């Protein structure tokens, strides 16, 4: 057993803060991401709660004109808060979230490797995220940015906030994303253990593989777009500003050419997690391994050609709208295939309702709703009505929060014993699920109806007709807040006084469970030889 016999593992192998900040161990870097992303999530979540609090009641004066309300003294402060909520959650939580924490920690373990292909690049990518995040947060103390996370021109050129610094921050965080993607692709191609063929890889690895391709191919487009925007702000080069002869709609094309694939950068890793959780907690082999694996690649491919569905009313031609609507329908198919396969996996299984399994089922519940409303939005005239209303806000929260964040929570509980060598309290973890799940639906379901009624997004105030549903939505946000707080408590409690975790508490078949909890620095005492697929539950 080598080191393990002496109780040495990756956590206690070296001591002191510097040993963490300079570590090249993929597991330690995964933990660095875990801690920092958790922190960003708390900041972004606090902004969300404040936004909802502002929207609790309309603040309309006698003349029927909107005035700023109780929480935010001016409309500008609200606009800034929504910008930080969006930018932090997208660029600092959901995009890096699952790939950087769990991809880093578990992808090498799942394919039987000692580390990722480029450990130094791996550490560098964490530092890039930190530099970018520091710059983004610095803008809060300089001139706050109020453009929304989308930076649409020409507003982003005219506004007085520190937009250039914020954009530079996103540029640098994008490089972090590219580095991680490169690393994962190289690791999967070069470092698989003997016998670990592509078709024996766990589906989480397939999902990370597809995500990485998107990160490497799509992020440079965003980087170039942001550079152009900085050039325009700093030197007055006319690319997007009509006053200088530019085209503001061009920015939207560039932006969504990255940001639509980015939606799949956010959701594909979550889908990978779900495949792991469902098989483990129903003790059953996955239904349709090949279909799920290749549908990830299919989604990744088609996702490059659907960006125009964000722009049906932007002034693009009718023909463009029709083509993008059609292609968007095609993305729906591989997504539907995954849903059916997951549900078929449960058939004749032996299902245990751990917190992770509850989060996985929560994911499926919410993702179905996010999915069908996504199809609605792909239908041209329906989107004309719903575009930029609360219907869209509800839809993408169902996919991004109901999807990605639910999977992230499921992943935390699933892999916690392996990462920290301790067990968590199922009671607390299940309680967090109940609050998050119910709170989520109470918050976001009414927003579908609000959107149908015509309430535009990014409004700090609204007409009285929207009041009831906004009140319900705000109350829901408190439930979500409580749910995540319980989750945080459960993690802290487990770290402080959790029972020692066995190597394989869930009886899972994938490789990461076939080494100690927590793993030794070199992952496995003997190089694994793989002779069968990842989910051979018989």
Name 496's Cβ contacts closer than 8 Å, sequence gap at least 6: none
Q: How many CB atoms lie within 10 A of CB 427?
A: 10
For other proteins, the binding residues in 257-316 under the rule CB under 8 A are 282-291, 313-315
Q: How many residues touch other proteins (CB under 8 A)?
A: 97
Q: Which is nearer to other proteins, 178 or 366 (CB)?
A: 366
Shortest approach of other proteins to residue 466 CB, angstroms?
A: 11
Q: Which is nearer to other proteins, 220 or 238 (CB)?
A: 238
For other proteins, the binding residues in 402-461 under the rule CB under 8 A are 449, 452-454, 456-461
Per CB under 8 A, the list member of 70, 224, 384, 499 interacting with other proteins is: 384
Q: Which is nearer to other proteins, 13 or 250 (CB)?
A: 250
Q: Which is nearer to other proteins, 457 or 522 (CB)?
A: 457
Shortest approach of other proteins to residue 478 CB, angstroms?
A: 23
Per CB under 8 A, the list member of 378, 393, 399, 431 interacting with other proteins is: 378
Options 4-12, 19-27, 112-120, 359-367: segment touching other proteins (CB under 8 A)? 359-367
For other proteins, the binding residues in 312-341 under the rule CB under 8 A are 313-315, 318, 321-322, 325-326, 329-330, 332-333, 336-337, 339-341
Shortest approach of other proteins to residue 455 CB, angstroms?
A: 8
Residue 505 contacts other proteins per CB under 8 A: no
Classified as helix, coil or strand, 422 is: strand
Determine contact, residues 156/139, Cβ cutoff 8 Å: no
DSSP calls for 439-456 = HHHHHHHHHHHHHHHTPB
For other proteins, the binding residues in 229-258 under the rule CB under 8 A are 242-243, 247-249
At CB < 8 A and 24+ separation, what contacts does 235-239 make? none
- List the structure tokens of 278: 């469902």
Shortest approach of other proteins to residue 320 CB, angstroms?
A: 11
Classified as helix, coil or strand, 523 is: strand
Options 74-82, 186-194, 202-210, 434-442: segment touching other proteins (CB under 8 A)? 74-82
For other proteins, the binding residues in 157-196 under the rule CB under 8 A are 158-160
Could you give phi then psi for residue 81, rounded to 5 degrees? -60, -40
Per CB under 8 A, the list member of 200, 387, 422, 509 interacting with other proteins is: 387
- List the structure tokens of 391: 């219907």
Residue 468 contacts other proteins per CB under 8 A: no
Residue 118 contacts other proteins per CB under 8 A: no
Going by C-alpha positions, the residue among 444, 438, 446 that lies closest to residue 482 is 438
Residue 120 contacts other proteins per CB under 8 A: no
Q: Which is nearer to other proteins, 34 or 251 (CB)?
A: 251
For other proteins, the binding residues in 41-70 under the rule CB under 8 A are 61, 63, 65-68
Cα separation, 163 vs 430, whole angstroms: 41
Q: What is the largest CA-CA distance in the chain?
A: 78
Per CB under 8 A, the list member of 165, 237, 320, 463 interacting with other proteins is: 463
Options 132-140, 367-375, 416-424, 436-444: segment touching other proteins (CB under 8 A)? 367-375
- List the structure tokens of 467: 């009041």
Shortest approach of other proteins to residue 384 CB, angstroms?
A: 5
Query: Across-strand partners of 523?
Result: 520
Cα separation, 108 vs 81, whole angstroms: 38
Cα separation, 218 vs 474, whole angstroms: 35
For other proteins, the binding residues in 132-151 under the rule CB under 8 A are 146-148
Per CB under 8 A, the list member of 110, 389, 432, 517 interacting with other proteins is: 389
Shortest approach of other proteins to residue 316 CB, angstroms?
A: 10
Report the Cα–Cα distance between both ends of the chain, in Å, rounded: 28
- List the structure tokens of 499: 């029972």
Q: Which is nearer to other proteins, 23 or 147 (CB)?
A: 147
DSSP calls for 29-47 = HHHHHHHHHHHHHHHHHHH
Determine contact, residues 300/526, Cβ cutoff 8 Å: no
Cα separation, 125 vs 498, whole angstroms: 31
Name 239's Cβ contacts closer than 8 Å, sequence gap at least 6: 228, 229, 231, 232, 246, 247, 250, 251
Shortest approach of other proteins to residue 331 CB, angstroms?
A: 10
Shortest approach of other proteins to residue 67 CB, angstroms?
A: 6
- List the structure tokens of 400: 């991004």
Classified as helix, coil or strand, 166 is: helix
């Amino acid at each position: 057993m080598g080191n393990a016999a002496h109780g040495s593992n990756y956590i206690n192998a070296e001591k002191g803060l510097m040993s963490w900040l300079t570590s090249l161990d993929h597991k330690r870097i995964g933990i660095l991401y875990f801690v920092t992303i958790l922190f960003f999530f708390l900041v972004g979540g606090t902004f969300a709660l404040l936004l909802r609090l502002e929207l609790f009641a309309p603040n309309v004066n006698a003349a029927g004109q909107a005035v700023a309300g109780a929480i935010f003294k001016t409309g500008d402060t609200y606009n800034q808060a929504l910008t930080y909520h969006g930018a932090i959650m997208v660029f600092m939580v959901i995009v890096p979230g699952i790939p950087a924490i769990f991809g880093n920690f578990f992808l090498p373990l799942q394919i039987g490797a000692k580390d990722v292909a480029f450990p130094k690049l791996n550490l560098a990518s964490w530092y890039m995220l930190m530099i970018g995040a520091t710059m983004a947060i610095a803008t809060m103390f300089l001139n706050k940015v109020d453009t929304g996370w989308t930076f649409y021109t020409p507003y982003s050129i005219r506004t007085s906030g520190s937009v250039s610094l914020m954009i530079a921050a996103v540029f640098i965080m994008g490089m972090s994303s590219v580095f991680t993607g490169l690393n994962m692709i190289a690791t999967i191609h070069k470092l698989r253990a003997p016998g670990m063929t592509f078709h024996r890889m766990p589906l989480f690895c397939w999902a990370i593989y597809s995500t990485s391709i998107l990160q490497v191919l799509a992020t440079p487009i965003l980087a170039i777009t942001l550079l152009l925007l900085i050039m325009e702000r700093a030197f007055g080069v006319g690319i997007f500003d009509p006053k200088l002869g530019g085209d503001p709609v061009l920015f939207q094309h560039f932006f969504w050419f990255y940001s639509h694939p980015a939606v799949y950068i956010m959701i594909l890793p979550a889908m990978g997690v779900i495949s792991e959780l469902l098989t483990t907690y129903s003790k059953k082999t996955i239904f349709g391994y090949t279909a799920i694996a290749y549908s990830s690649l299919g989604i990744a491919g088609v996702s490059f050609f659907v960006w125009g569905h964000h722009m049906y009313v932007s002034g693009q031609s009718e023909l463009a709208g029709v083509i993008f609507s059609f292609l968007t329908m095609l993305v729906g198919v591989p997504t539907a295939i995954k849903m059916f396969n997951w549900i078929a996996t449960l058939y004749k299984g032996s299902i245990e309702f751990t917190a992770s399994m509850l989060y996985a089922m929560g994911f499926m519940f919410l993702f179905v709703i996010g999915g069908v409303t996504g199809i609605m939005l792909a239908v041209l005239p329906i989107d004309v009505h719903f575009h930029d209303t609360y219907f869209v806000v509800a839809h993408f929260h169902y996919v991004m929060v109901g999807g990605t964040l639910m999977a992230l929570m499921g992943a935390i509980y699933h892999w916690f014993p392996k990462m920290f060598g301790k067990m968590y309290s199922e009671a607390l973890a299940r309680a967090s699920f109940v609050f998050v799940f119910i709170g989520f639906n109470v918050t976001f379901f009414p927003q579908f109806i609000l959107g149908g009624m015509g309430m535009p997004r990014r409004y700090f105030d609204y007409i009285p007709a929207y009041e009831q549903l906004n009140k319900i939505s705000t109350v829901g946000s408190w439930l979500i807040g409580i749910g995540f707080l319980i989750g945080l408590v459960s993690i802290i409690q487990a770290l402080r006084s959790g029972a020692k975790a066995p190597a394989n508490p869930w009886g899972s078949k994938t490789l990461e469970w076939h080494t100690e909890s927590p793993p030794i620095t070199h992952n496995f005492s003997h190089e694994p030889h793989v002779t069968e697929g990842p989910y051979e539950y018989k």
